[in-house]
């Protein structure tokens, strides 16, 4: 649908699209192995990315803890990349996603 909308703007207009969904409805929590590695609340630091071990072997997905916790245990967002025409390297995609978490209108 997005590609069709782009084509309706101008003939042969087909920009590369990266489509990522964010999910907060899950039961995954991240913990530091050593308390001194955590933030003041004992959570993993903001910007922590987990892209292996607990992720799906069939999907391009990752967990990103985008903010420091104030109280309790943080709940990272789970991101699933559905389409990546830009073929961004994973680290670049993680940094872009983290930066977009701090953009406000």
Tell me: the pLDDT tens digits for 8-65? 998 889 899 999 999 999 999 998 888 888 888 889 999 999 999 999 999 999 999 9
Residue-level pLDDT at 105: 60
Q: What angle do CA 26, 61, 47 make, to 5 degrees?
A: 80
Looking at residue 20, what is its pLDDT? 96
Return d(Cα 21, Cα 11) in angstroms, integer: 28
Q: What is the pLDDT of residue 3?
A: 87
Strands 18-23 and 61-65: unpaired
pLDDT tens per residue across span 72-99: 888 999 999 999 999 999 999 999 999 9
User: What pLDDT was estimated at residue 27?
Assistant: 92
Q: Is 44 left (phi over 0), alpha (psi -120 to 50) or beta?
A: beta
SS3 content of the chain, % helix, strand, coil (to 5): 20, 20, 60
């Amino acid at each position: 649908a997005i590609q069709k909308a782009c084509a309706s703007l101008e003939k042969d207009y087909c920009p590369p699209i990266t489509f990522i969904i964010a999910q907060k409805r899950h039961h995954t929590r991240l913990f530091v192995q050593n308390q001194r590695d955590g933030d003041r609340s004992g959570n993993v630091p903001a910007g922590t990315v987990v892209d292996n071990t607990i992720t799906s072997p069939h999907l391009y997905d990752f967990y990103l803890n985008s903010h420091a916790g104030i109280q309790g245990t943080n709940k990272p967002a789970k991101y699933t990349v559905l389409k990546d025409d830009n073929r961004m390297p994973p680290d670049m995609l993680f940094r872009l996603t983290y930066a977009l978490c701090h953009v406000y209108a």
